[in-house]
Structure 1
Amino acid sequence: MGHLTRRDLNAARERLRDQVAHALRAALIAGELRPGAVYSAPALAEDFGISATPVREAMLDLAREGLVEPVRNKGFRVTEVDERDLDQYTEIRALIEIPIVGRVARTAAREELEALRPDAEEIVRAAQRHDLIGYLEADRRFHLGLLGLAGNERLVETVGDLRKRTRLYGLTALDARGDLVPSAEEHLELLGLLLAGDAEGAEACMTRHLGHVRSLWARGGGRPAGADG
């Protein structure tokens, strides 16, 4: 084994697992892995040219994110989201996030809000360069970081779970139509209102943003592959 230690091997295994998970997310966004279809770890591993173990571990990571679900003795099924699901998820998010941004506008310190700016700007940059995974990650950090300023960890967990269930819906189609950048820019608009202490304006912006995202989903062709808000 030379100078390799168990720690070195574990670290290499974790890196491979993360790389596979990243590639699978990209395949989900691109529609290469179809909603409702079942994929086995050995078959995917053959495509990657690696052993099945890191692929299985990566798929379990995606299952924890709500993107796939295990199917006994077969593999993993890509999660399907229908219009009724999206309506209900959007309603719950609106009930939580709209009043919370108003509270944050009234109570958060300026430095806490400014800490959100890098993610808001990265959302726009990622949309401009068609980096869909980068867009999703920056979008998640911004929204959950904003909600975190309200001081309720359970609330952040709840919205985080809802976002996982819709995060890949229609994104490729939105990007192809050029609709992703305007949606991304709404995050900077929201941040400006929060910094101005405009609670009513922030609530109105969040209402419009969630409605905008839901209407984009509706135009996304009714197939998961993603927009997040």
Structure 2
Amino acid sequence: MAAERSSAPSAAPDLPALGGRRSSYRERVADALRAALIAGELRPGEVYSAPTLAARFGVSATPVREAMLDLAKEGLVDTVPNKGFRVTEVSEKQLDEYTHIRSLIEIPTVVGLAGTADPASLEALRPAAREIVTAAAAGDLIAYVEADIRFHLGLLALAGNSHLVEVVGDLRKRSRLYGLDALVRAGRLEESAREHLELLDALLERDERAVRAVMTRHLGHVRGLWAAP
């Protein structure tokens, strides 16, 4: 059994005042914890206590414990009696399968948006794309992942199929991007982040070939560069 990690992830997430679409700290903490899991800042096999994570988020242990129980229901962590929560392992085979399914769904769906998406709806995603670049430049992996999820799921939502968005969202939750910190150290994460802006520009230009090329390259990064422990 792995010992509890004593240090918290590097950057605290922004937990805004209650209101809007997210109605509780529990939901917001759960979102930030998912992002930390996906980014690999909470490592598989390690045990984290609710008080330790609560100190990380600057809230009481109760919403953190409740959020971790939500993540346990999603299969992202296992409960460890009297100790906390252990992050579940994701195998190389599972990562390959997740990425393959995502490519089958996302590439043709986004290519199709080149001919159907409303330009104003595409432009509405530009702030999220810029936020991804900003987070990458700052090395804020949790903010990066949270903005990346909002961008991609928001983009897929333009296709009008809520079930498709739900499936991809679940696949993204289950993935791990263990190499993100390595890309930060190598100065390459910001370059990769700019692909989101490149994708928007290609969609606005109705250039299906360019959209396919960017999406294929982008998902290749997910598996080939980021997911390797």
Deviation at 1:216, TM superposition (A): 0.9
Counterpart pick for 2:185 among 171, 176, 188: 176
Report the Cα distance in structure 1 between the residues aligned to 2:126 and 2:45, rounded to whole angstroms.
37
The one-letter amino acid paired with 1:214 is R
* 1:89 alignment counterpart: 98
Q: Does 1:149 align with 2:158?
A: yes
* 1:6 alignment counterpart: none
Q: Deviations over 1:62-81 (max 9, x none)?
A: 33565323346764220212
Q: Is the 8 A contact 1:21 1:62 kept in 2?
A: no
Q: Give the aligned CA root-mean-square deviation in angstroms.
A: 3.2
Matches within 5 A, 1:1-229: 14-15=24-25, 18=28, 22=32, 29=39, 31=41, 33-41=42-50, 52-63=61-72, 66-71=75-80, 75-217=84-226, 220=228, 222=229
Q: Which structure's residues are more often helix, by fraction?
A: 1
TM-score, length-normalised on structure 2?
Answer: 0.76
Q: Deviations over 1:61-101 (max 9, x none)?
A: 43356532334676422021222111111100000001001
Report the Cα distance in structure 2 between the residues aligned to 1:152 and 1:103, rounded to whole angstroms.
13
Q: Percent identity?
A: 63
TM-score, length-normalised on structure 1?
Answer: 0.76
Instruction: Check 1:174–1:121 CA distance in 2 against 1; reply closer, same or farther (3 A cut).
Output: same
Q: Which runs of 5+ in 2 are unaligned?
A: 1-17, 19-23
Report the Cα distance in structure 2 between the residues aligned to 1:209 and 1:217, rounded to whole angstroms.
11
Instruction: Check 1:167–1:66 CA distance in 2 against 1; reply closer, same or farther (3 A cut).
Output: farther
The one-letter amino acid paired with 2:122 is L
Instruction: Check 1:198–1:47 CA distance in 2 against 1; reply closer, same or farther (3 A cut).
Output: closer
Instruction: Check 1:66–1:140 CA distance in 2 against 1; reply closer, same or farther (3 A cut).
Output: farther
Q: How many aligned residue pairs are there?
A: 208
Q: Is the 8 A contact 2:114 2:206 kept in 1?
A: yes
Q: Which has the larger radius of gyration?
A: 1
Instruction: Check 1:145–1:18 CA distance in 2 against 1; reply closer, same or farther (3 A cut).
Output: closer
Instruction: Check 1:65–1:131 CA distance in 2 against 1; reply closer, same or farther (3 A cut).
Output: farther
Q: Which runs of 5+ in 1 are unaligned?
A: 1-10, 223-229
Report the Cα distance in structure 1 between the residues aligned to 2:120 and 2:58, rounded to whole angstroms.
47
